[in-house]
């Protein structure tokens, strides 16, 4: 009998503070029209001083456990995708385990920038398939507002804070679960999207060559999508929902056109959340599952590209 990693719980957390394009236009040389036209973003959530990657991730995890009706004590592992940990160590994952009262099993962080959730999902699936764990919390949590140069209009308008979580559980059978994951990295392009080193007079901040990132995203995401479909003997028309990384509406629209999916079958949150990096896919999943769009039996395709460069895709049958 095939053992599959099935998604049984979803959760999300967004800080209450909302920063609109109009507010940003009061600080820097930009406008609501300029931001919307190039990115599709209208607003983003910003963590307050008391909110951390761990606290937001724990809130999203609790919501996922509540949805699945599973107690934290039944979780075997916690895998957190984040590029903005609260400390170099201990990991955000073990901090979240502490907040949830999980005193057994294991937890660790995955660093793959905006692709982090897909990488963490693949890692969790491997633990389940190899029978090292039966229930794994996979969390994406980010506080990008703390690594942005708020004087750089080309980057500070793009990102927001938040956390999303899913619970994966082992189930026998082939009716549902993660069908396959596909991961890639190419360090030759690490300098087109990175966080600068922290210095005595200069804090670590995000730097990006936007046009280069866009160019690679279009090509590499298309390849990752084709790879996932081919690995499972499926066609684009078999996909019910596209849940992409929420970086830029133009990239999302391009992937939808490639798959021949109408807009109503693409989950979009970038307009309200901006780019929440590793949190963006689980936040979008949480929204679409809870509002009833994504249902049991639906084939869901996820894809992301991030700094590294890293990129990947995952196919999931709900």
The domain ranges of the chain are 3-172, 177-317
145 is written with which tokens?
A: 């507002």
pLDDT score of 23: 97
pLDDT score of 58: 98
pLDDT score of 201: 57
Q: What angle do CA 70, 131, 3 make, to 5 degrees?
A: 80
pLDDT score of 197: 83
Residues 162 and 14 sit within 8 Å (Cβ to Cβ): yes
pLDDT in tens, the chain (318 residues): 689 999 999 999 999 999 999 999 999 999 999 999 999 999 999 999 999 999 999 999 999 999 999 999 999 999 999 999 999 999 999 999 999 999 999 999 999 999 999 999 999 999 999 999 999 999 999 999 999 999 999 999 999 999 999 999 999 988 899 999 999 999 999 999 999 887 555 688 999 999 999 999 989 999 999 999 999 999 999 999 999 999 999 999 999 998 999 999 999 999 999 999 999 999 999 999 999 999 999 999 999 999 999 999 999 999
Burial class of residue 267 in the structure, from the number of CB atoms within 10 Å of its CB (0-12 exposed, 13-18 middle, 19+ buried)? buried
pLDDT score of 199: 59
Among the listed residues 53, 39, 143, 140, the one whose alpha carbon sits nearest the alpha carbon of residue 92: 53
pLDDT score of 168: 98
Active site (catalytic) residues? 114, 245, 275
Q: Which fold would CATH assign to domain 3-172?
A: Peroxisomal Thiolase; Chain A, domain 1 (3.40.47)
Beta bridge partners of 87: none
DSSP H helices in 69-145: 92-100, 116-129
Q: Would the pTM of this model clear 0.85, i.e. be above it?
A: yes
Specify the DSSP class assigned to residue 213.
Answer: H
Q: Which fold would CATH assign to domain 177-317?
A: Peroxisomal Thiolase; Chain A, domain 1 (3.40.47)
User: Is 177-317 in the same CATH topology as 3-172?
Assistant: yes
Helix (H, G, I), strand (E, B) or coil at 243: strand
């Amino acid at each position: 009998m095939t053992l599959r990693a099935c998604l049984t719980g979803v959760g999300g957390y967004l800080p209450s503070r909302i920063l609109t394009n109009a507010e940003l236009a009061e600080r820097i040389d930009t406008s609501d029209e300029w931001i919307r036209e190039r990115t599709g973003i209208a607003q983003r959530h910003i963590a307050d001083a008391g909110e951390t990657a761990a606290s937001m991730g724990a809130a999203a995890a609790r919501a996922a456990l509540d949805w699945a009706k599973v107690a934290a004590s039944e979780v075997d592992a916690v895998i957190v995708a984040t590029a903005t940990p609260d400390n170099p160590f201990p990991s955000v994952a073990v901090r979240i385990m502490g907040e949830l009262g999980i005193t057994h099993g294991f937890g660790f962080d995955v660093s793959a920038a905006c692709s982090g959730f897909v990488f963490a999902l693949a890692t969790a699936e491997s633990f389940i398939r190899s029978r090292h764990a039966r229930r794994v919390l996979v969390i994406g949590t980010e506080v990008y507002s703390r690594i942005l140069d708020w004087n750089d209009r080309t980057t500070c308008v793009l990102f927001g804070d938040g956390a999303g979580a899913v619970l994966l559980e082992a189930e026998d059978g082939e009716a549902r679960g993660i069908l396959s994951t596909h991961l890639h990295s190419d360090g030759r392009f690490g300098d087109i999207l990175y966080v600068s080193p922290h210095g005595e007079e200069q804090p670590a901040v995000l730097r990006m060559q936007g046009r280069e990132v866009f160019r690679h995203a279009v090509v590499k995401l298309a390849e990752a999508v084709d790879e996932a479909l081919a690995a499972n003997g499926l066609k684009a028309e078999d996909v019910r929902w596209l849940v992409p990384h929420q970086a830029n509406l133009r990239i999302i629209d391009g992937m939808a056109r490639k798959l021949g999916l109408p807009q109503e079958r693409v989950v979009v949150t970038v307009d309200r959340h901006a780019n929440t990096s590793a949190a963006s896919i689980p936040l979008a999943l949480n929204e679409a599952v809870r509002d009833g769009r994504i249902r049991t039996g639906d084939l869901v395709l996820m894809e992301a590209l991030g700094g590294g460069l890293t990129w990947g895709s995952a196919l999931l049958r709900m």
